[in-house]
A = this chain, B = another copy of it.
Amino acid sequence: MKEMPTNWFWEYVTPHLIQQFSISDILYSGKSEFQSIQVIDTPSFGKCLILDGKIQCSEADEFIYHESLVHPPMITHPQPETVFIAGGGEGATLREVLAHSTVKRVVMVDIDKKVPDICKRFLPSLGQGSFEDSRVELLHTDAMKYLDETQEKFDVIIIDLTEPLEESPAYLLYTQEFYQGLKEKLTQDGLVALQSGSTSMVISLGFIAVANTLRTAFSVVAPYQAEIPSFGGTWGFAVASQNLDPRELSPEEVDRRLSRRVSKPLRFYDGLTHRGMFSIPKYLREEMAREKRIITKDQPLFTY
């Protein structure tokens, strides 16, 4: 038994499902004003950021998450110049946004100042200096309040928040009320993108309800998914807008736009990946057709 790992990180995916990976080191363990923060090192996924006991990203596969969240709305937009990011404290969403040569201004609002600090120190590959880019304005305040008060409109808005837990006020950013307000903050061809939790059949309700809720505010809602191994399976996202649909882009058109606008090599996203992400399997499409739930302030939805 000599060679078996003795130290393990556990995450409850549901109360009946646990994912464990072995840990080689605990690099940081502390608390901010808003959440508990850990950085662990693992043989399976390299260094991982853990917030309130849930894995947020790993060195090994964060590129899948961040490229999935950012590039579909950015590529679908004809010329994205201004971008708003809610959350995203690790800096990697910002990194992917800044890779688009069309971008002139990014406003990023993450309430927790400590997460960017910890990530800069222990996970510098996430941000890769993005916070220093002169196009970026970084604010540590409440993203919802900021959007409410600003007069500015954006070409792309990206919501990069943890899922809505009962104990956290982030759930308000997953409601019909918030999405109604959001559409006022987009320019003419503007798009919003967000992550919407696991699409695994045992817990896909959040993914479906978020898409339903977006549909009450936007004409086009395109849900999609990508496999993220450190999250334990497929993860859901959605792009919403009033007129542009990512599903209408052929793989060739995606690749054409990428080559014109993004000079750094991507690892996950290209035309064929784009097509795969939007090809939701039949049983999930049927579940989406059946399930009518909409999320409101009064009837919020909490994930496990």
Report A's interface with B, CB cutoff 8 A: 1-12, 14-26, 29, 36, 38, 40, 42-45, 50, 52-53, 60-61, 63-64, 165, 167, 199-202, 226-227, 229, 232-234, 266-270, 272-273, 275-277, 279-283, 285-286, 304
Subset of 6 A-B contacts with CB under 8 Å: A14-B44, A200-B229, A227-B234, A270-B282, A273-B282, A277-B279
Q: Which residues of B contact A200 (CB under 8 A)?
A: 227, 229
Contact A15 B7 (CB under 8 A): no
Contact A15 B4 (CB under 8 A): yes
9 residue pairs, one from A and one from B, having the closest CB atoms? A276-B279, A18-B20, A16-B22, A16-B43, A200-B229, A273-B281, A227-B234, A16-B44, A6-B53
Given contacts A17-B20, A273-B281, A276-B280, are A38 and B232 in contact (CB under 8 A)? Answer: no
Contact B4 A6 (CB under 8 A): no
In whole angstroms, how far apart are the Cα atoms of A52 and B5 in the complex?
A: 10
In whole angstroms, how far apart are the Cα atoms of A154 and B40 in the complex?
A: 49
In whole angstroms, how far apart are the Cα atoms of A9 and B18 in the complex?
A: 10
Number of copies of this kind of chain in the complex: 4
Given contacts A60-B201, A229-B233, A276-B281, are A29 and B24 in contact (CB under 8 A)? Answer: yes
Contact A279 B272 (CB under 8 A): yes
Highest count of chain B CB atoms <10 Å: which of A7, A9, A12, A286? A7
In whole angstroms, how far apart are the Cα atoms of A141 and B139 in the complex?
A: 61
Q: Which residues of B contact A45 (CB under 8 A)?
A: 202
Contact B268 A285 (CB under 8 A): no
Q: Which residues of B contact A167 (CB under 8 A)?
A: 2
Q: Name A233's contact: one of B15, B26, B233, B270 (CB within 8 Å).
A: B233
Given contacts A1-B53, A272-B282, are A8 and B7 in contact (CB under 8 A)? Answer: yes
Given contacts A64-B281, A229-B202, A272-B282, are A21 and B26 in contact (CB under 8 A)? Answer: no
In whole angstroms, how far apart are the Cα atoms of A139 and B1 in the complex?
A: 29
In whole angstroms, how far apart are the Cα atoms of A16 and B229 in the complex?
A: 13
Taking the closest CB of chain B, its distance from the CB of A88, in whole angstroms, is 22
Highest count of chain B CB atoms <10 Å: which of A19, A42, A281? A281
Given contacts A53-B1, A282-B270, A285-B272, are A38 and B6 in contact (CB under 8 A)? Answer: yes
Taking the closest CB of chain B, its distance from the CB of A196, in whole angstroms, is 16
Q: Which residues of B contact A202 (CB under 8 A)?
A: 44-45, 60, 229
In whole angstroms, how far apart are the Cα atoms of A200 and B232 in the complex?
A: 10
Closest partner residue, chain B, to A67 (CB atom):
B282
Taking the closest CB of chain B, its distance from the CB of A45, in whole angstroms, is 8
Highest count of chain B CB atoms <10 Å: which of A11, A273, A304? A273
Contact B7 A6 (CB under 8 A): no
Q: Which residues of B contact A270 (CB under 8 A)?
A: 282
Q: Name A279's contact: one of B19, B43, B199, B273 (CB within 8 Å).
A: B273
